[in-house]
Amino acid sequence: MTWILITGASRGIGRASALRLAAAGARVIATGRDVEALGALEREARARGGALTTLRLDVDDARSVEAAAAAVHERTAGYGLDVLVNNAGFGEMTPIVRCGAGRERRMFETNLVGAARCVRAFLPAMRARGRGRIVNVASLLGRMVMPLQGVYAAAKHALEAMNDALRLEVERFGVEVLLLEPGAVDTPFNDVAFRALDALAADPDYGAAVRRMQRIEAMYRRSAAPPEALAEALERLCLGPSPSARTTAPGFAHAQLEAMRASPRGLREGVLRAALALGPEEDRPPAAPSRRALVTGAAGGIGKEACFALARAGWRVVATDMSPEGLAALGARAKEQRLAIETRVMDVTDERSIASVADGLALDVLVNNAGYAEVAPIELATDAAWHDQLAVNVHGMSSVTRAFAPAMMARRRGHVINVSSVVGRVTFPFLGVYGASKHAVEALTDGLRLELGGFGVRVSAIQPAFIRTGFAARAKASLARYDVSSGPYERAFTQMDRILDRLDKLGGEPPDVARAIVRAARSASPRARQQTPWSAWLAVRTVPWLPVSVVDAGMARFMGMRRE
């Protein structure tokens, strides 16, 4: 008998999968927040002769997850789970610049942080036994982005990164980590997603796109697969002898994904804009000499160099950071060099701080650079680590963009440059929290480009490798959150200095990134993404196309990781 726990099992894919797995003979623990719906599920399973029990579990609530873990320990007589299925999730359709910070955080909390909580709760028993499976239910939007769905896509991109890092970290303990990417499925999920558009039907900028999407809803539902089709795929992942690390279902979804990956970006995005009446991307020359640029995270290495490079290239720069001391040093150096750089204290995690800077300030270029890297195994990363990382790297970037983009849209001119990372495309073990945040940045960048291009606003990303700005020192400082002197990850962390040195050798210098930012800001038709240095260019163009097994083997060798 196999113990399987499924989150979000009260409806949709989770419900269909619970019934199917119970009928196959597994001991299923179906969980969710709706106790009444869980009761109905248990009665239906009993009528079918399946061994299914239910348990209330709210993945957004750390105490609820802890209580569920204790209940599972008791119910299984200390054995734990054979399979954890992280299925709970929801999405709301909305333009990124119309999505409030609270809505964005809620989507990440359920789709990403909730899954990480469940991993922390149930992985230790699997690891101790040397056997188990974790199945993360992502989405086709974990690898592609559609207009009006950028925030949800960002959360699922982040989940894919967490999944890949976790797979690399626990394979040596005998624990398998598998990913299911559903395409269009006819479930109550769609009711929540589409109903979120109702409030925007009369929006002056996005009303036409919203109404077009609402008309597409009926066609979408007709073409969507029933949840039972995904339950069949999930059964193979839970009970099959050698399942694939990544499964896209149904078959049409796989074909859709491959067609997207093979099509030129400009053509693909043009078709999507036309389909939703968002208008073509306007081709406008760079701004006049009076142009103004704002840089976040300006007191650090990349941000500081970007400020000076933009000022030397003719921009009037507003350098922002939460460190008054760092800004004072930057301002003094700018004054010595007679560069047009003014400094403003701004905390990207504080909406009021952002609003005070944005009030009356029109920008030609916004450089979203503020960020840092959290280093930890997924199993050990705390809620605080996840929340802090997302608050700066993801929600901070979104909040700053929402503050300045509307004025750019009204003027039909502007450029948003997001400083991402090669880790936004390539996942490394022990960098899963950071990688999840940068995968989200990549998705938000694509979503913003789709939604702002018709208003004359360009959006692009800079993807540095591990730039030598004290990355290694800050990475070690973030490890101080955890006791890694003993336990399952001790051996890996004894060689962290060597690993960080290897990553450092792949990187470049802050001026490399600053030059890439200036090139993007100057260009009349900037590339969607620019990499620097050569190692980032090579990684981004090769690793995502290689088989998972090849990437995992190469990463394990590079990071010095071996099976226990």
Catalytic residue among 152, 206, 434, 489: 152
- Mean pLDDT across 198-222: 92
The class level of CATH for 292-559 reads alpha beta
pLDDT tens column, 335-376: 999 999 999 999 999 999 999 999 999 999 999 999 999 988
pTM of the model: 0.95
Tell me whether domains 3-91+101-189+227-258 and 292-559 share a fold.
yes
In terms of Cβ atoms closer than 10 Å to its own Cβ (0-12, 13-18, 19+), residue 336 is: exposed
| Residue 162, number of CB atoms within 10 A of its CB | 27
pLDDT tens column, 223-277: 899 999 999 999 999 999 989 999 999 888 888 888 888 889 888 999 999 999 8
Q: Measure the CA–CA gap between 432 and 539, rounded to whole angstroms.
A: 17
**Torsion-angle region of 409 (φ positive above 0: left; ψ -120 to 50: alpha; else: beta):** alpha
pLDDT level of residue 6 (50, 70, 90 thresholds) = very high
Please report, for the chain, the start and end positions of each structural domain, with discontinuous segments joined by +: 3-91+101-189+227-258, 292-559
| pLDDT the model gives residue 289 | 46
Please confirm, yes or no, whether 152 is among the known catalytic residues: yes
Q: What is the per-residue DSSP string for 64-126?
A: HHHHHHHHHHHHTTT---SEEEE---------GGGS-HHHHHHHHIIIIIHHHHHHHHHHHHH
pLDDT tens column, 455-479: 999 999 999 988 776 666 777 777 7
CATH topology of domain 3-91+101-189+227-258: Rossmann fold (3.40.50)
pLDDT tens column, 11-66: 999 999 999 999 999 999 999 999 999 999 999 999 988 889 999 999 999 999 99
Q: Which tops the pLDDT comparison, 324 or 252?
A: 324
pLDDT level of residue 222 (50, 70, 90 thresholds) = confident
Q: Measure the CA–CA gap between 253 and 245, rounded to whole angstroms.
A: 17
